[in-house]
Structure 1
Amino acid sequence: MKTVLETINGGAQYLEKRGVEDARRNMEHLLAFQLGCGRMQLYTQFDKPLEEADLAPLRELLKKRSERVPLQHILGSVTFYGRDFICDGRGLIPRPETEELVEMILAKAPQKPLEILDMGCGSGILGLTLAAERPESTVTMVDVSEDALSLTRENAVKLQIENVRIIQGNLFENIAGSFDVIAANLPYVPTGEQQEMEPELGFDPALALFSGEDGLDLLRQFIPASFGFLNPGGLLAMEIGHDQASHVARLLESSGFAEIDTLKDLSGIARFPFAKHP
């Protein structure tokens, strides 16, 4: 029988040969998932022999990952800002940068009950996190995809987050009232980049990724429309592509926004435009 360590090493080599990045970490997650333990617990049982009852289903998980099915879809969950969210093909797998956006919004938003809008909420990662961190506030979550919203609802129930409203619609078509904060991680990938992307991204909904030839089609609609839904002094916060900062800043300025500032992510990329309603 193979031990835990032998299984990890063999599986990591198998994934690495098939182009999976960070193959060992992936293999550790798969084995921990199969054994029903935490990944770090594996380090205390390297010499433990594994039964065929565990190895057989593990091979199926390993095969899926070698076919570039995202690890988060195989595990059925993703950890974001300290919470475990349901994760599947109905919504975008969250990127680490979006956690940075959450930190920035929480730091900039006033410490009082707020009306917050998460536009293009997808699986609910951003809006539900803001709702959980600011329980005195109300978060309205909007997406055009009913599939994505079904995932948002499941995550809200799983995490017992109740201070949210969930609305289906294309941008602001079904929205009334105004907000203190509008947050958006809308599609921003140019359609021409589809062939260059990692195979795992092919499992994300195309609707959540692509937005025209330069990736800005939806932002050209969203930014000017959002101005009319912000309260005076209200905050607009976004995540954008790596080379879109100057274009987005011009859109914000021409739409009437003030105090425009695009903050950098941990890699030094201008990623997060912030602006205020005068």
Structure 2
Amino acid sequence: MSLTIARALQCAPQLVNSDSARLDLELLLCHLLECGRTYLFMHPERVLSSPQAAAFEALLQRRLAGEPVAHLTGRRGFWTLDLEVSADTLIPRPDTETLVEQALELLPDGDFRVADLGTGTGAIALALASERSQWSLTGCDRIAAAVALAQRNAARLGIGNARFVEGSWFEPLAGRFAMVVSNPPYIDPADPHLGRGDVRFEPASALVAEDAGLADIRHIATGARSVLEPGGWLLFEHGFDQGAAVRGLLDELGYGEVVTVPDLGGRDRVTRGRWNLQGVTEC
């Protein structure tokens, strides 16, 4: 029997382990047919060619095995951007847009240097650069393949005020920054969620940190004091249950104006703090 778009979408009940089965199939079909989602609704009777039907079946089986849709299509939307993704990096997620929103609220457009630590696909740096044309963004990652991926995303999107360099955390950075942002690894190695869902296919180095998930956050918060300008901001994404611990850490290290901000689901997601307020000269 010929496979139509409508019949392909009827496979959604098979994806019992997905919270977005119908959307998963729509995205796979859009990738396969090189079309937008509206096209699927307008042409449900379209018959897939034999090669297309075979390709769809292969993608469906991979998704049934748990492979993320972003890896199957090689793309993920983030902020207003369409990003290339790969198995070398964390897949950008909507929760991280809270970090972008907070960064944009704290600094206007102007001659500011901003660093994105553990940049991965470049999602955070590129989102900020796309909104603040005068900012100079530096994204760094210790994984060479991630840096190359972020550079490809910047080139394809035509974003020229973001550069990407290889190195661990602060190692490749020089000079002072008005802001440091990061979505570092923050999952406890013992967290049972590591064996479920999309994270099974993502690099553990981008997910897991020692000290109940706080080791990398502590390292960055400690080191950022040496690269932030007086009054500069540090912003982290972290787990929904880590807000109090991260606030305590920033307080302990001498940051001021420490606040935790919830994501769209109302869960603690981003904590920010300001360094060396006594060094800020009042006008």
Does the TM-score normalized on the shorter chain lie above 0.5?
yes
What residue in structure 1 maps to residue 120 of structure 2?
A: 122
What residue in structure 2 maps to residue 220 of structure 1?
A: 218
Q: TM-score when scaled to structure 2?
A: 0.92
Question: What 5-or-longer segments of structure 1 have no aligned partner?
Answer: none
Contact 2:139-2:163 at 8 Å conserved across structures: yes
Residues 1:169 and 2:167 aligned together: yes
Given the superposition, is the C-alpha separation of residues 231 and 212 from structure 1 closer, same or farther in structure 2, using an over 3 Å criterion? Answer: same
Residues 1:27 and 2:28 aligned together: no
Residue type at the aligned position of 1:3: T
Residues 1:52 and 2:50 aligned together: yes
Q: 3-state DSSP class of the match of 1:142?
A: strand
For 1:217 and 1:211, the matched residues in 2 are separated by 6
What residue in structure 2 maps to residue 2 of structure 1?
A: 3
For 1:213 and 1:202, the matched residues in 2 are separated by 21
Given the superposition, is the C-alpha separation of residues 4 and 236 from structure 1 closer, same or farther in structure 2, using an over 3 Å criterion? Answer: same
Residue type at the aligned position of 2:9: I
- CA shift for structure 1 position 197: 4.1
Residue type at the aligned position of 1:49: V
Q: TM-score when scaled to structure 1?
A: 0.94
What residue in structure 2 maps to residue 12 of structure 1?
A: 12
Contact 1:69-1:200 at 8 Å conserved across structures: yes
Given the superposition, is the C-alpha separation of residues 59 and 247 from structure 1 closer, same or farther in structure 2, using an over 3 Å criterion? Answer: same
- CA shift for structure 1 position 213: 4.3
What residue in structure 1 maps to residue 265 of structure 2?
A: 267
Residue of structure 1 aligned with 2:74, choices 66, 76, 90 = 76
Aligned residues: 275
- CA shift for structure 1 position 172: 1.4
Between the aligned residues of both structures, percent identity stands at 33
- CA shift for structure 1 position 194: 4.9
Q: 3-state DSSP class of the match of 2:15?
A: helix
Structure 2 counterparts to residues 75-94 of structure 1, below 5 A: 75-94=73-92
Deviates more, 1:241-250 or 1:162-171: 162-171
For 2:193 and 2:79, the matched residues in 1 are separated by 31
Residue type at the aligned position of 1:8: L
Given the superposition, is the C-alpha separation of residues 213 and 257 from structure 1 closer, same or farther in structure 2, using an over 3 Å criterion? Answer: closer
Structure 2 counterparts to residues 148-163 of structure 1, below 5 A: 148-163=146-161
Residues 1:251 and 2:260 aligned together: no
TM-align CA RMSD: 1.5
Q: Deviations over 1:27-65 (max 9, x none)?
A: 111122212211121111112333323211111111111
Q: Deviations over 1:207-239 (max 9, x none)?
A: 100001400111111101111211111111110
What residue in structure 2 maps to residue 182 of structure 1?
A: 180
Q: Deviations over 1:149-181 (max 9, x none)?
A: 121111111112221232222221232211011
Residue of structure 2 aligned with 1:229, choices 227, 232, 238 = 227
Contact 2:119-2:182 at 8 Å conserved across structures: yes
